[in-house]
């Protein structure tokens, strides 16, 4: 908070027009805010709020034919960026403003060495050559905390982890010491522990260089962690801006209040266990090994799940929590038998289904249904909603009329109009599609419902609604729910019990409240410590 | 309350549809390549269907009018036996189009079936693809010549001979589409819903292969017409008594210096037809796969 009132970036009344036929006239409208030297300004909003368009307009990276700035100015240290020639703009990018992107894998050139990509910035903008340039690159890599920069200089992007790639991106952006750094969701694609380290790095570097940072995010946890000031956007307009503490603790605009109210708390509610009766699903010593000996020599073998024991009773939600590569999705896919487990037992209603053939398995498929992460790929774009929902029941000999009646009823259960059955997936929003997927799963009258990151791709307000719906249907249909997630906040709110996985192994399981309040395993502790904004209590949903 | 909002949202949508989908056919005809290619091809089809009714006999000999240049009476001139080149070229359109369409249809049908199996049933993939690799290693013309010399030159043999080397190309294309689609969550949801293999293939996977296949079919059609002419020209194709474009050119080869029109007119007809098919194929690719079109 050492920001002086010295704006590096000052956006005034910026309006960008969308091409004709879009769902609204302007991508962003009358947007005004500034970023001072030595300050981090978080631009927050849900998808479609215009936060990325704002960033890309500043960088001059928007396709001008489709998105045209029609009003306002963007002042970068006194120069209006909208009035610069392309040549001058190219010079400014890199030297005085730089950007880091969400997906570090696609933002780096896969066929160029990491060090050379940083060096390219220096080659274009400075007169540094040869060894001097390399030295400077290695110093930059050292500054962003990359281990052994000298040898990492020669690494290709695919040889680096997600966190390391993002550090390379940051080193690239910082190599010319720009006055303004724009970060577009730079930690969204990263695991929570990596995210915490990158956020620390960004804070540290920003403080040392005293630059202004425009940080785009949808995650209020990240905002609480990093922001000095916050700009909240909705439908292309700035609805509220102010100091981070004020916005987080005392939001004025109803939209901001709704957004912050939708952030799930990190403290699990104190409630009795809801599971009852016989276990609906249990696994003993479940193993999945990927890869095998290739035709020539030995291939690589990955033990994706190792001796996983779990039990889910009817009426309860078991959370499976872990970072990418922890094996949580593998467990889910084994249970649904989308992949065949290598070893172990999986019992559902008294039958071990781990190794039985497709014919014997088929009657049991009804009992276990799954909702996937990506609502845009979960529904066949060429089938109507009705076809998608009735396909399962009709596979089991239910007549079309009866299946359709049931589908209409389920549409009501998930909060959609039954008339929508004749429509195609592209006519629905992400949240609505996820509701349809839940209806499709329920149509099978399952005993176990698996939600594989089912709310991770959704905006926070929609996420809250879908979580409520999942909890409702669990209650109403007395389902055993297996809830797979990387998000500790979501898990805290919905799960009765939690299972923490790391490298394919269950490191800890128990009651949600016990695990959050008193983690036993160091990894669990590490995960909880890394959760962004853990020290901030967000006002609860009203 | 939240559920209510969503119902409202859906109902509001149903009053004003999110987008007004024009029919696929109309969308395609908006593309200039599809339009002009299609028009030219339609003209060729009309000529093939009705042309022979209006022209003279393509195989009638008239030794008095041998090697006559184009004139008001003989539009395209006559060949060394005094046959009317115009009538022969018009009739030849039938052969070319039949060969092109038949090869495209048969290779797509067979390739689609094999490709779906190779892409979806993993244990068969290795075996099928190695066989296809083997087939691809045989030069198309050589295979055709071998088949025709074994079983005699008929229209059917020529079609079969040209079809076989095209199949592996279709199989590869279909297999690659199936491989990307089979891991889509909606396919996995269908598996979890207990759908049997034929339903999964038919409802969830097959429709994704249609667009690339239509495009591929046009290219196969064009190249099959060319191959048929090459075989005719080499004397290894359709029997010489049937006037195909390749045969006409083959017979005109000896007289090229004194009567170039014998080769010139069937050559133009062949070039125009293949051009029409290819232009249409390019246009179809642009409309059916807009991602490629935008990058071009």
Instruction: For A230-275, write each residue's pLDDT tens digit.
Output: 999 999 999 999 999 999 999 999 999 999 988 888 889 888 888 8
A261 neighbors A542 (Cβ within 8 angstroms) = yes
Three-state SS for B191?
A: helix
CA distance A7 to chain B (A): 39
Is B8 a domain residue? no
Chain A, residues 257-296, CB within 8 A of chain B, namely: none
Once rounded to an integer, what is the mean pLDDT over residues A113-128? 88
* Contact residues, chain B, for A392 at CB < 8 Å: 193-195
pLDDT of residue B290: 56
The reply to whether residue B10 touches residue A392, judged by beta carbons under 8 angstroms, is: no
- Average pLDDT score, chain A: 89
Give the tens place of pLDDT for each residue, A2-55. Answer: 445 678 999 999 999 988 877 788 899 999 999 999 899 999 988 888 898 999
Distance in Å, alpha carbon of A369 to nearest chain B alpha carbon: 6
- Shortest alpha-carbon distance between residue A58 and chain B (Å): 25
Kindly report the nearest CA distance between residue A212 and chain B, in angstroms.
Answer: 36
ipTM field:
0.82
Q: Per-residue pLDDT averaged across A91-109, rounded?
A: 86
Please choose, from the candidates A476, A482, A286, A213, the residue with its C-alpha nearest in 3D space to the C-alpha of residue A367.
A482
Q: Quick check: A392 and B4 CB within 8 A? A: no
**pTM, two decimal places:** 0.83
For residue B35, being part of any structural domain is answered with: no
A298 DSSP 8-state letter: -
Contact present, A450 and A368 (Cβ < 8 Å): yes
Task: Tell me how far apart the alpha carbons of residues A387 and A421 are, in angstroms, rounded to a whole number.
Answer: 8
Q: With an 8 Å Cβ cutoff, are B14 and A435 in contact?
A: no
Neighbours of A11 (CB within 10 A): 24
Range of the domain at B276: 43-61+74-295
Q: Is the dihedral of CA B146, B150, B155, B160 positive or negative?
A: negative
CATH for B131? 1.10.3720.10
pLDDT of residue B8: 40
Comparing CB atoms, the residue among A338, A414, A468 nearest residue B192 is: A338
Q: What's the pLDDT score for residue B76? A: 86
Q: Within chain A, what is the greatest distance between any pair of CA atoms?
A: 76
A93 CB-near residues (< 8 Å, 6+ apart): A59, A60, A99
| Exposure string for A109-136, b = 16+ CB within 10 A, e = fewer | eeeebbbbbbbbbbeeeeeeeeeebbeb
Domain-located, residue B281: yes
Q: What is the mean pLDDT of residues A59-87?
A: 88
Number of domains in chain B: 1
- Test B2 with A428 for CB contact under 8 angstroms: no
Q: Which residues of A touch B207 (CB under 8 A)?
A: 382
Q: Is residue B10 part of a domain?
A: no
pLDDT tens readout for residues A176-230: 889 999 999 888 888 888 889 889 988 988 888 889 999 999 989 899 999 999 9
Domain annotation covers residue B23: no
> What tens digit of pLDDT does each residue of A377-391 get?
999 988 999 999 999
**Could you tell me the CA-to-CA distances from A420 to A370, A380, A401, A496, B15 in Å, in that order?**
22, 15, 16, 34, 12
- Select the residue of A365, A396, A426 nearest B192 (Cβ to Cβ): A365
Contacts of A480 (CB under 8 A, 6+ apart): A275, A279, A280, A281, A312, A313, A314, A315, A316, A318, A447, A448, A449
In which band, very low, low, confident or very high, does the pLDDT at A284 lie, cut at 50, 70 and 90?
Answer: very high
Q: Which residue of B has its CA nearest to A411?
A: B7
Q: What is the 3-state secondary structure (H, E, C) of A327-391?
A: CHHHHHHHHCCCCCCCEEEEEECCEECCCCCHHHHHHHHCCEEEECCCCCCCCCCCCCHHHHHHH
Candidates A294, A391, A438, partner chain B, best to mutate (most B CBs within 10 A): A391
Structure confidence at residue A502 as a pLDDT band (50, 70, 90): very high
The residues near B26 (Cβ < 8 Å, ≥ 6 apart) are none
Cβ atoms of A420 and A434 closer than 8 Å? no
Instruction: State the pLDDT confidence band at A509, using cuts at 50, 70 and 90.
Output: very high
pLDDT value of position B139: 84
Is residue B127 domain-resident?
yes
The pLDDT tens digits for B244-295 are 898 898 888 888 888 888 899 999 999 999 999 999 988 888 887 655 544 4
* Confidence class for position B24, pLDDT limits 50, 70, 90: low
| CA–CA separation, A178 and A171 (whole Å) | 11
Distance CA B179, CA B119 (A): 5
Q: Cβ distance A227 to A244 under 8 Å? A: yes
Q: Is A277 exposed, middle or buried (0-12, 13-18, 19+ CB in 10 A)?
A: exposed
Sheet holding A448-452, edge to edge: A368-371, A448-452, A480-485, A317-321, A497-502, A505-511
Is the Cα dihedral A89, A90, A96, A101 positive or negative?
positive
Q: Which residues of A479-508 are buried (b: 16+ CB within 10 A; e: fewer)?
A: bbbbbbbbbbbbbbbbbbbbbbbbbbbbbb
- Say yes or no to pLDDT of B6 above 60: no
Tokens of A61: 């990276």
- With respect to residue B237, please indicate whether it lies within any of the assigned structural domains: yes
Q: Are A336 and A370 in contact (CB under 8 A)?
A: yes
Kindly state the tokens that stand for A55: 């960033």
Query: Which pLDDT band, with edges at 50, 70 and 90, does B176 fall under?
Result: very high
| A291-to-A304, B137, B183 alpha-carbon distances in Å | 10, 31, 17
Tokens, residue B46 = 């009309």
Rg of chain B over Cα atoms, rounded to whole angstroms, equals 24
A/B interface, count of CB pairs below 8 Å: 93
Q: Which residues of A touch B17 (CB under 8 A)?
A: 427
Q: Residue B254: exposed, middle, or buried by beta-carbon count in 10 A (0-12, 13-18, 19+)?
A: exposed
A326–B contact, CB cutoff 8 A: no
Are A310 and A252 in contact by the 8 Å Cβ rule? The answer is: no
Q: Length of chain B, please?
A: 296
For residues A30, A36, A41 and A43, what is the CA-based torsion angle, rounded to 10 degrees? 20
Q: Residue A309, class by beta-carbon neighbours within 10 Å (0-12 exposed, 13-18 middle, 19+ buried)?
A: middle
- φ/ψ of A370, rounded to 5, equals -130, 145
Distance of CA B184 to the CA centre of its chain: 30
CA distance B13 to A316: 36
Q: Which tokens sit at B154?
A: 């008929």
CB pair distance less than 8 Å for B207 and A382: yes
Asked if B32 and B279 count as a contact pair (C-beta separation under 8 A), the reply is no
Q: How far is CA B239 from the centre of its chain?
A: 22
CB atoms within 10 A of CB A471: 15
Whether residue A530 contacts residue A522, with contact meaning beta carbons closer than 8 Å, is answered with no
A426 in contact with chain B, both atoms CB, cutoff 8 A: yes
Which two structure tokens, joined as six digits, stand for B164?
């076989």
Question: Which phi and psi (to 5°) does residue A234 adopt?
Answer: -145, 135
Radius of gyration of chain A (CA): 25
CA dist., res. B292 & res. B274, Å (int): 22
Helix (H, G, I), strand (E, B) or coil at A192: helix
Could you report the per-residue pLDDT of A309-341, keeping only the tens digit for each?
999 999 999 999 998 888 899 999 999 999 999
Contacts of B189 in chain A (CB under 8 A): 370, 372, 378, 388, 437, 440
Q: How many CB atoms lie within 10 A of CB B247?
A: 25
Q: What CA–CA distance (Å, rounded) separates A268 from A79?
A: 50
CA distance A257 to A538: 10
Do A231 and A43 touch, CB atoms closer than 8 A? yes
DSSP for A137-190, please give it.
HHHHHHHTT-SSHHHHTT--GGGS-HHHHHHHHHHHHHTT--SEEEEESTTTTS
Q: Which residues contact A244 (CB under 8 A, 6 or more apart)?
A: A42, A223, A224, A227, A228, A229, A230
Mean pLDDT in residue range A281-301: 77
Q: How many percent of chain A have pLDDT more than 90?
A: 52
Confidence of residue A293 (pLDDT cuts 50, 70, 90): low
Backbone angles phi, psi at A308, to 5 degrees: -85, 120
Query: What whole-number distance in Å separates Cα of residue A80 and Cα of residue A130?
Result: 35
Other CB atoms within a 10 A radius of the CB of residue A263 amount to 25
- Cβ distance of B11 and A417 shorter than 8 Å: yes
Which is more confident, A375 or B24?
Answer: A375
Rounded-to-integer distance, Cα A456 and Cα A266, Å: 16
pLDDT tens digits for range B97-106: 999 999 999 9
- Does B21 map to a domain? no
Q: Kindly state the percentage of chain A with pLDDT values over 70.
A: 97
DSSP for A406-421 reads HHHHHHHHTT--GGGG
Calculate how close chain B gets to A527, using CA atoms only, in Å: 28
Residue B191 has its nearest CB partner, among A338, A372, A444, at A338
In what side-by-side order are the strands of the sheet with A237-243? A97-100, A180-184, A212-217, A40-44, A229-234, A237-243
What is the predicted pLDDT for the residue at A174? 85
């Amino acid at each position: 908070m050492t920001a002086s009132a010295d704006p590096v970036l000052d956006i005034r009344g910026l309006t960008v027009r969308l091409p004709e036929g879009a769902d609204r006239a302007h991508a962003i409208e009358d947007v005004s805010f500034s970023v001072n030297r030595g300050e981090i300004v978080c631009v927050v909003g849900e998808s479609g709020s215009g936060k990325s368009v704002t960033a890309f307009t500043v960088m001059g990276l928007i396709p001008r034919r489709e998105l045209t700035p029609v009003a306002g100015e963007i002042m970068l240290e006194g120069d209006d960026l909208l009035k610069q020639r392309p040549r001058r703009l190219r010079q400014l990018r890199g030297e005085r403003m730089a950007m880091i992107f969400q997906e570090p894998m696609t933002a780096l050139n896969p066929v160029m060495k990491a060090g050379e990509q940083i060096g390219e910035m220096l080659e274009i903008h400075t007169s540094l050559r040869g060894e001097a340039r390399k030295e400077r690159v290695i110093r930059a890599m050292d500054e962003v905390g990359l281990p052994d920069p000298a040898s990492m200089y020669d690494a290709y992007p695919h040889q680096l982890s997600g966190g390391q790639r993002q550090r390379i991106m940051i080193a690239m952006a910082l190599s010319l010491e720009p006055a303004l750094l724009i970060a577009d969701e730079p930690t969204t694609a990263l695991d929570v522990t990596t995210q915490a380290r990158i956020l620390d790095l960004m804070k540290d570097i920003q403080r040392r260089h005293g630059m202004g940072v425009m940080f785009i995010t949808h995650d209020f946890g990240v905002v609480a962690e990093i922001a000095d000031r916050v700009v909240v956007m909705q439908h292309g307009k700035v609805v509220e801006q102010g100091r981070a503490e004020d916005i987080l603790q005392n939001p004025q605009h109803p939209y901001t209040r709704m957004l912050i109210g939708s952030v799930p708390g990190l403290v699990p509610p104190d409630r009795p266990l809801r599971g009852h009766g016989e276990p609906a699903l249990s696994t003993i010593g479940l193993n999945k090994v990927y890869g095998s000996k290739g035709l020539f020599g030995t291939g690589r073998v990955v033990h994706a799940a190792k001796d996983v024991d779990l039990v889910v009773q009817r009426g309860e939600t078991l959370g499976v929590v872990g970072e990418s590569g922890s094996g949580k999705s593998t467990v889910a896919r084994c249970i649904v038998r989308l992949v065949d487990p290598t070893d172990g037992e999986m019992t559902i209603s008294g039958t071990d289904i781990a190794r039985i053939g497709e014919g014997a398995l088929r009657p049991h498929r009804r009992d276990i249904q799954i909702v996937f992460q990506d609502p845009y790929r979960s529904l066949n774009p060429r089938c109507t909603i009705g076809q998608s929902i009735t396909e399962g029941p009709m596979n089991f000999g239910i007549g079309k009329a009866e299946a359709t009646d049931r589908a209409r009823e389920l549409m009501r259960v998930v909060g959609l109009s039954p008339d929508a059955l004749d429509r195609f997936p592209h006519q629905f929003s992400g949240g609505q599609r996820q509701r349809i997927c839940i209806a499709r799963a329920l149509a099978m009258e399952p005993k176990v419902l698996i939600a594989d990151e089912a709310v991770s791709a959704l905006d926070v307000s929609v996420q809250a609604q879908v979580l409520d719906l999942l909890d409702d249907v669990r209650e109403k249909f007395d389902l055993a729910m297996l809830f797979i997630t990387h998000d500790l906040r979501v898990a805290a709110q919905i799960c009765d019990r939690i299972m923490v996985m790391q490298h394919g192994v269950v490191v800890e399981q128990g009651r949600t409240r016990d695990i959050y309040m008193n983690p036993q395993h160091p990894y669990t502790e590490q995960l909880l410590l890394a959760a962004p904004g853990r020290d901030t209590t967000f006002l609860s949903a009203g | 309350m939240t559920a209510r909002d969503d119902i409202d949202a859906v109902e509001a949508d149903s009053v004003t549809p999110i987008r007004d989908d024009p029919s696929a056919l109309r969308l395609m005809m908006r593309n200039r390549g599809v339009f002009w290619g299609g028009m030219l091809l339609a003209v060729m089809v009309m000529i093939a269907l009705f042309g022979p009714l209006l022209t003279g006999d393509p195989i009638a000999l008239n030794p008095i009018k041998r090697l006559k240049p184009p004139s008001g009476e003989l539009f395209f001139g006559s060949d060394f036996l005094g046959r009317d080149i115009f009538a022969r070229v018009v009739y030849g359109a039938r052969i070319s189009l039949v060969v092109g369409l038949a090869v495209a249809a048969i290779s797509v049908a067979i390739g689609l079936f094999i490709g779906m199996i190779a892409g979806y049933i993993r244990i068969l993939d290795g075996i099928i693809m190695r066989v296809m690799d083997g087939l691809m290693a045989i030069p198309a013309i050589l295979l055709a010549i071998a088949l025709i010399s074994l079983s005699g030159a008929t229209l059917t043999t020529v079609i079969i001979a040209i079809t076989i080397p095209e199949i592996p190309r279709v199989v590869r294309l279909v297999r690659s589409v199936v491989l990307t689609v089979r891991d889509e969550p909606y396919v996995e949801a269908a598996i979890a819903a207990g759908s049997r293999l034929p339903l999964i293939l038919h409802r969830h996977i097959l429709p994704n292969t249609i667009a690339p296949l239509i495009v591929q079919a046009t290219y196969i059609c064009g190249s099959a017409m060319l191959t048929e002419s090459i075989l005719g020209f080499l004397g290894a194709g359709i029997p010489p008594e049937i006037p195909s474009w390749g045969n006409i050119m083959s017979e005109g080869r000896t007289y090229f210096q004194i009567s170039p029109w014998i080769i010139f007119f069937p050559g133009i007809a062949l070039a125009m037809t293949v051009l029409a098919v290819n232009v249409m194929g390019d246009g179809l690719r642009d409309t059916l796969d807009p991602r490629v079109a935008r990058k071009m």
